[in-house]
């Protein structure tokens, strides 16, 4: 899996940064794209990225402030013209459906794919054989949610030596064992998957928070995550301002990452007062003094999601 930041600015776009949208690209897992938030200009950002709207499967909205949702109507309409024919589901807080349906009806937009809208107030918002997505309320001026994406553990790899010992050769039986099925051999012996599979492969955990100031739901959402994406609207010298406007500082984001024992912290949602990369460096350094494995979200850069244990070894 890979994260791709389509926008990292708070409130309004600047010449250097667009407003919030984050892509989660799943290559081996399901050949799909998920988006988290869709600020104005997101579809234009996608044109300059390796992401494809035709692969877009789900959009998770953290909250209904404009810098997180004003790009939705255009993106939903454009998807129909860019090869998107498969169903698309949008998850968001109450009011998401009214906003989308009203815009589409008034603009007489027509979609050639099934659009499903799921409003929620937290809890498990999606689950299938491969993933669970949970949401919890954060602390912002309007209802804002964080999402925890958990990839379910996958079966371990087949052990060639064990397969040979049982007289098995490559073929359909390999696939059945990999899928967790028990098979019968020509000898009459029963072979269970655990007889020839290695240890299960732990799935990834990715936590992406909406706008928030420090609150009690951050830690359970982020606990032991491989990657935590956390807003850092201000440096900590503006902690009072951050609190007043229901945002977090880079120090508070780092403290949350440390408390939750995450693998990597990615800071995003930067105030426009920080004009460029040079002015963002103090935010990064402030966070790294508390949680060393921190990076700034860079727009138009793929960030591979790696296991927490690997992150720890790389930062040592």
Catalytic pick among 37, 67, 143, 226: 67
CA atoms within 13 A on the CB side of 89: 9
Active site (annotated) includes residue 316: no
- The answer to whether the annotation marks 243 as part of a ligand binding site is no
Q: Is 63 annotated as a binding residue?
A: yes
120 is known to lie in a ligand binding site = no
Nearest C-alpha neighbor of 310 from the set 298, 293, 295, 297: 293
Task: Report which of 94, 64, 37 is spatially closest to residue 209, judged by C-alpha positions.
Answer: 37
Write out the catalytic residue numbers.
Answer: 67
Annotated binding-site residue numbers for Zn(2+): 63, 65, 67-68, 140, 211, 269
Tell me the binding residues.
Answer: 63, 65, 67-68, 140, 211, 269
């Amino acid at each position: 899996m890979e994260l791709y930041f389509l926008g990292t600015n708070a409130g309004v776009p600047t010449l250097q940064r667009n407003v919030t949208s984050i892509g989660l690209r799943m290559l081996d897992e399901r050949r799909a794209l998920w988006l988290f938030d869709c600020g104005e200009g997101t579809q234009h950002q996608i044109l300059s990225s390796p992401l494809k709207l035709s692969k877009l499967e789900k959009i998770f909205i953290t909250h209904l402030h404009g810098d997180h949702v004003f790009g939705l109507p255009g993106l939903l309409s454009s998807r129909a013209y860019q090869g998107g024919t498969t169903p698309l589901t949008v998850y968001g807080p109450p009011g998401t459906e009214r906003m989308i349906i009203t815009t589409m009806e008034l603009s007489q937009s027509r979609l050639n794919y099934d659009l499903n809208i799921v409003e929620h107030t937290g809890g498990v918002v999606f689950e299938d054989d491969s993933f669970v997505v949970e949401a919890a309320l954060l602390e912002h001026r309007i209802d804002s949610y964080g999402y925890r994406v958990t990839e379910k553990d996958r079966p371990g790899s087949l052990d060639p030596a064990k397969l040979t010992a049982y007289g098995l050769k490559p073929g359909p039986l390999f696939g059945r064992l990999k899928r967790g099925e028990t098979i019968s051999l020509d000898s009459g012996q029963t072979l269970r998957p655990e007889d020839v599979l290695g240890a299960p492969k732990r799935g990834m955990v990715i936590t992406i928070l909406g706008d928030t100031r420090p609150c009690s739901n951050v830690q359970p959402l982020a606990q032991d995550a491989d990657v935590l994406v956390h807003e850092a609207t201000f440096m900590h010298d503006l902690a009072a301002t951050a609190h007043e406007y229901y945002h977090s500082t880079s120090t508070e984001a780092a403290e949350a990452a440390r408390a939750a024992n995450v693998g990597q912290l990615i800071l995003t949602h930067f105030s426009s007062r920080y004009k460029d990369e040079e002015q963002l460096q103090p935010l990064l350094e402030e966070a790294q003094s508390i949680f060393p494995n921190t990076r700034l979200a860079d727009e138009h850069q793929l960030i591979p999601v790696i296991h927490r244990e690997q992150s720890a070894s790389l930062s040592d």
